[in-house]
Structure 1
Amino acid sequence: MKEHLNPEDTALVIVDVQNDFCHEDGACARRGSDVTAAQAIISQLQALIDTAHGNGVPVVFIQMTLNDKTVSDAWSKRMEENPIAVCEKGSWGTEFYKLSPASEDIVVEKHRYSAFIGTELDMILGNLKRKSLVITGVATNVCVESTARDGFMMDYHVTLVQDACAGYDAELHDATCKNITNNFGLVLNAADIIEYWSSPVPMVG
């Protein structure tokens, strides 16, 4: 676990915990998605954030935004059967859901599923000398998994927090957790990470 969770090497990444993805009045709920799992991870996320702050682990909030300059033809046609706009830049839907970045936290805007595509995330992590990512957020099998896969392919140690990420289909959430375990990194619970970061003596693992 040291390679994946050492506070001096690790960043906590929170993907797309925004009104359109989590709130009962957001775009995904209006499409018919069940957002209760997304809402249920907030307490674990806040505990992780608090522990990260207390142990010098940078916290990076990923925020999806879209406008006419970032929506391509391919992107706009990906869900033609249910074309409700999501995360329009400047809208209530883009605001974070029940979480507020602290002054020292970093916010990275993205325009595609992966937080590494077309963003400064890799440069920021490099400047912070971070080589390990603890990844959380919404939706597990879409933006979270896309970010985790790209992070691994860019040679980061990846840890997915299975009870601090959520999707709209439990089977797809579980499939991503299994896929990460088999191919891309560790899958742990928030309590495992909090215990490791809070231990006065680094635990062997």
Structure 2
Amino acid sequence: MKHYLNPQDTALVIIDMQNDFCHEEGASAKMGTGDIKAFQAAVPPINALIDQAREASVPVIFVMMTLEESTISEAWSNKFPGGSIVVKDTWGTEFYKLQPQKGDYIVEKHRFSAFIGTNLDLILRSLGRKSIVLTGVLTNVCVESTARDGFMMDYNITLVSDACAGSSPAAHQNTLDMINMVFGQTTDSASVADYWKQAMSISQ
């Protein structure tokens, strides 16, 4: 399964690490709909993976959720009435303690899956990437939706357990179990970083 992590085949994808989801003053915290401390705890492992990915020439792709009038459908409104979150061009959509750099990629999405209505698949295929390492929030919603769609589009999926956080510990674990059972593999950030370091030393 480790070959799914080969630097020349892999991209690091970071899902929805934004103020509205992760900041204590964000919309999720104000609405009481997220485990903010768990979301914030995912930041150091993600940053460590970003640093190692850049060193190993693994593309880093930041995915951000935004909503505006043109992207809110009747079906969406029926499920999520009232309240505003990740409103396009607001502070809430900005990345939380993560800084994209020149050479990184930013994908804007409007639904849970990062593959729906975006250019993520085009970016990955243009880069020749067939494996994706997934991090971010929420494990059991946007991360899982992206993992499922990615697998169905023939990508090798690795979900990084300590670089994700779910709506609850149980929901987080349920997704990890389901990914391992059906859609890919799970591991921790140290294992991914170590594999990329070893791959770099072999190639030098």
Task: Map 1:162-201 onto structure 2 (within 5 A).
Answer: 162-199=161-198, 200-201=201-202
Q: Which position in structure 2 is the counterpart of 1:101?
A: 100
With normalisation by structure 2, the TM-score equals 0.96
User: Percent identity, aligned pairs only?
Assistant: 56
Aligned equivalents of 1:29, 1:76: Cα separation in 2: 21
Aligned equivalents of 1:2, 1:123: Cα separation in 2: 24
Q: Which position in structure 1 is the counterpart of 2:30?
A: 30
Matched, 1:64 2:80: no
Aligned equivalents of 1:63, 1:6: Cα separation in 2: 25
- Mapped contact 1:35–1:168 kept (Cα < 8 A): no
CA shift for structure 1 position 78: 1.2
CA shift for structure 1 position 31: 1.1
Unpaired runs of at least 5, structure 1? none
Aligned equivalents of 2:40, 2:55: Cα separation in 1: 24
Aligned equivalents of 2:86, 2:118: Cα separation in 1: 16
Q: Which position in structure 2 is the counterpart of 1:134?
A: 133
Task: Map 1:47-126 onto structure 2 (within 5 A).
Answer: 47-80=48-81, 83-126=82-125
CA shift for structure 1 position 192: 0.4
Aligned equivalents of 2:158, 2:22: Cα separation in 1: 22
CA shift for structure 1 position 77: 1.8
Question: Which amino acid is 2:60 matched to?
Answer: V
Q: Which position in structure 1 is the counterpart of 2:16?
A: 16
- Mapped contact 2:71–2:110 kept (Cα < 8 A): yes
Aligned equivalents of 1:171, 1:79: Cα separation in 2: 23
With normalisation by structure 1, the TM-score equals 0.95
Q: Which position in structure 2 is the counterpart of 1:154?
A: 153
Q: Which protein has the bigger helix share?
A: 2
- Mapped contact 1:3–1:157 kept (Cα < 8 A): no
Q: Secondary structure at the match of 2:108?
A: strand
- Give every structure 1 segment of 4 or more consecutive aligned residues whose post-TM-superposition deviation is greater than 4 Å: none
Question: Which amino acid is 1:106 matched to?
Answer: Y
Aligned equivalents of 2:155, 2:44: Cα separation in 1: 26
Unpaired runs of at least 5, structure 2? none
Q: Which position in structure 2 is the counterpart of 1:3?
A: 3
Aligned equivalents of 1:143, 1:84: Cα separation in 2: 19
Aligned equivalents of 2:78, 2:169: Cα separation in 1: 25
CA-atom RMSD in angstroms:
1.0
Question: Which amino acid is 1:187 matched to?
Answer: T
**Number of equivalences:** 200
Question: Which amino acid is 1:126 matched to?
Answer: R
- Mapped contact 1:136–1:161 kept (Cα < 8 A): yes
